[in-house]
């Protein structure tokens, strides 16, 4: 039987890595100082800055954020602040999200056929929603039943996938997880999910041992008996 729910990573899976690294990350970096100055009295921003103080006691917040960006750290205060900066950029029209060409038509076909869709990414849930809300095809957030970030647990931890299945009220064996990262697929498979790697030539992804792989969602659909666009 085809999977009843498809859980998707974003970067390198449905969106090009270059969009995240060459567009979104530099955009947040160039606007970071001004954002902090404008939102110094914002309670949510203040809470994130307090979290930064616990990560690097005594260091200036801007310095800490730059250091975290340099190593692409998966920490909540950085992801929250980046998400807020991107929200401003999308609202201004300075940013528009990018997906691989087959992604949105394929996700729409899967949803029409009754397959539930969810996202699990290291980017904040806010940032995930922004990407779907500002696509070239308009607001496509309605495709996605649920968004998960690392608040549910690390992406290389089997327990995270068990929690996601429980929150979705979906048996783990009925869920297909798609990612470009082998260690994430290992964790999902360890929880009992089906797991398939996206090996995108554009991103230079290499096949990971122990998992099936396809070059795009069309290949995934044919492998698992999922619907395709008409």
Q: How many CB atoms lie within 10 A of CB 167?
A: 12
- Which among 92, 113, 140 is the end of a domain? 92
CATH number for the domain harbouring residue 157? 3.40.50.1000
Instruction: Give the tens place of pLDDT for each residue, 120-153.
Output: 998 889 989 999 999 999 999 999 999 999 999 9
Which residue, 191, 207, 194, 182, is CA-closest to 153? 191
Mean pLDDT of 153-162: 97
What angle in degrees, to the nearest 10, is found between the helix axes of 43-55 and 61-70? 70
Same domain, 10 and 48: no
Same domain, 69 and 168: no
Instruction: Give the tens place of pLDDT for each residue, 177-203.
Output: 999 999 999 999 999 999 999 999 999
For residue 43, the enclosing domain spans: 20-92
Q: How many CB atoms lie within 10 A of CB 20?
A: 19
Same domain, 113 and 12: yes
């Amino acid at each position: 039987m085809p999977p009843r729910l498809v859980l998707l990573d974003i970067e390198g899976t449905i969106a090009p890595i270059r969009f995240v690294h060459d567009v979104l990350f530099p955009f947040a970096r160039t606007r970071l100082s001004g954002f902090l100055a404008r939102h110094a009295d914002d309670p949510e921003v203040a809470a994130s800055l307090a979290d930064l103080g616990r990560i690097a006691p005594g260091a200036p917040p801007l310095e800490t954020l730059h250091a975290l960006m340099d190593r692409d750290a998966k920490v909540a205060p950085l992801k929250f602040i980046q998400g807020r900066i991107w929200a401003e950029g999308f609202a201004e029209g300075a940013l528009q999200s990018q997906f691989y060409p087959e992604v949105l038509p394929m996700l729409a076909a899967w949803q029409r056929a009754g397959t539930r869709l969810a996202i699990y990414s290291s980017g904040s849930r806010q940032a995930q929603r922004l990407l779907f809300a500002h696509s070239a095809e308009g607001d496509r957030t309605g495709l996605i039943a649920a968004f998960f970030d690392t608040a549910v647990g690390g992406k290389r931890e089997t327990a995270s996938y068990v929690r996601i299945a429980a929150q979705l009220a979906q048996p783990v064996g009925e869920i297909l997880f798609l990612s470009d990262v082998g260690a994430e697929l290992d964790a999902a498979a360890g929880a009992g999910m089906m797991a398939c790697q996206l090996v995108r030539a554009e991103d230079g992804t290499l096949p990971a041992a122990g998992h099936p792989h396809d070059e795009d969602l069309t290949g995934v659909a044919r492998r698992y008996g999922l619907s395709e666009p008409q």
